[in-house]
Amino acid sequence: MIDYTGHFIVPMMADAFYKKNKNYPPNKERDYPALLSIFNFLSSYGANDQEVLRTWENLSACIAMDPFYASKALKTISNHIQEISQIAVYGNKKPGKKSISPDTLRTKITERYPKRPKDGSNQAPTDI
């Protein structure tokens, strides 16, 4: 196992996460590498340790309220940290359902499926 004692930000990030996610079962061997990865991601934007810690505290609160990520391990959160940070910044916006016009539908179907031969057979055209 890697010794994280020289990198004090990781234990601080762990404490912040555990406080916001009270039902999370801490596991240093699994959590600390994930937190170091999260630290590297957040600091890659030029943030210092204190800015990373403040950002992580806010993200931890968002994760605790997220119906999907609230039950995930820090390793999974680490793997999806870019998505999680985007959700925290912009919200979990899903594209609205758009109605499609009959002409657009017809065009898309025609593009996707070949026309039947004019002789009425069920054989697909060979000139595709």
pLDDT of the chain along its 128 residues, tens only?
A: 455 445 689 999 999 999 999 999 999 999 999 999 999 999 988 888 888 999 999 999 989 999 899 999 999 999 999 998 888 877 766 655 455 555 565 665 556 555 545 555 555 445 54
Tell me, yes or no, whether 123 lies in a domain. no
Tell me, yes or no, whether 51 lies in a domain. yes
Contact in structure between 26 and 14 (CB atoms under 8 Å)? yes
Tell me, yes or no, whether 128 lies in a domain. no
pLDDT for residue 46: 83
pLDDT for residue 89: 78
pTM exceeding 0.75: no
Tell me, yes or no, whether 63 lies in a domain. yes
| Domain membership of residue 50 as a residue range | 9-90
Contact in structure between 57 and 16 (CB atoms under 8 Å)? yes
* The total number of structural domains that make up the chain: 1
pLDDT for residue 88: 80
Tell me, yes or no, whether 16 lies in a domain. yes
CB environment 94-106: b (16+ within 10 A), e (fewer): eeeeeeeeeeeee
Tell me, yes or no, whether 38 lies in a domain. yes
pLDDT for residue 123: 54
Q: 85 — phi, psi (to 5°)?
A: -65, -35
Tell me, yes or no, whether 50 lies in a domain. yes
pLDDT for residue 47: 83
Tell me, yes or no, whether 126 lies in a domain. no
